[in-house]
Amino acid sequence: MTRYDYKYQRQKHTRVLRPQRMNRVSRPALLNLFMGLLIGSGASLYYAWQISPVQYLDNDPYALREEYANDYLLLIAQKYSIEKDIRVSRAYLTDLGVDQPGEFVAARAEYMIAAGHSSADITAMAELAKALGADTAKMKSFLS
């Protein structure tokens, strides 16, 4: 490339320095990368296992929030629709802390009908309510 030299009023031929590409990664760079990954992994595992480990809590079903309690009730109904064991379903409902399980399940089934939930979920809930002795007019169309 030619440049103009203003001091001597002439063109000056200079070589342009271009950055050279590295064809290979140097061994110290790879060693530093590997050591950094090793130290970072070790430090994170130490933190996760020793300093701040996971604490598992077992909550009772009666302590669930309303939306989770409704999901739990639906799981009980689905389990009943598969196994047809009312004793197990009653045990789960007592864990939920329901005084009158039949009316509670029937009320939830009617709410699901009004809210437009899936027919399979409503059918499972209606079958459980009928097995518990609560049968309403709205649920009759979902019972076979």
Residue at 2 is within a domain: no
Residue at 15 is within a domain: no
128 or 60, higher pLDDT: 128
Enter the DSSP assignment of 6: T
Domain count, the chain: 2
From residue 24, alpha-carbon distances to 8, 18, 20, 21, 62 in Å are 44, 18, 12, 9, 63
Q: Is the domain of 68 the same as that of 100?
A: yes
Q: Is the domain of 135 the same as that of 65?
A: yes
Residue at 20 is within a domain: no
- Residue 11: what pLDDT? 63
Q: Which of 8-22, 64-78, 103-117 has the lowest mean pLDDT?
A: 8-22
Q: Is the domain of 95 the same as that of 74?
A: yes
Domain that holds residue 34: 25-56
Write out pLDDT tens, residues 76-129: 999 999 999 999 999 999 988 888 889 999 999 999 999 999 999 999 999 999
Residue 10 has pLDDT above 70, yes or no: no
Residue at 100 is within a domain: yes
**In which band, very low, low, confident or very high, does the pLDDT at 32 lie, cut at 50, 70 and 90?**
very high
Q: Is the domain of 70 the same as that of 97?
A: yes
Residue at 138 is within a domain: yes
Residue at 18 is within a domain: no
Which 3 state secondary structure label does DSSP give 17? coil
Residue 141 has pLDDT above 60, yes or no: yes
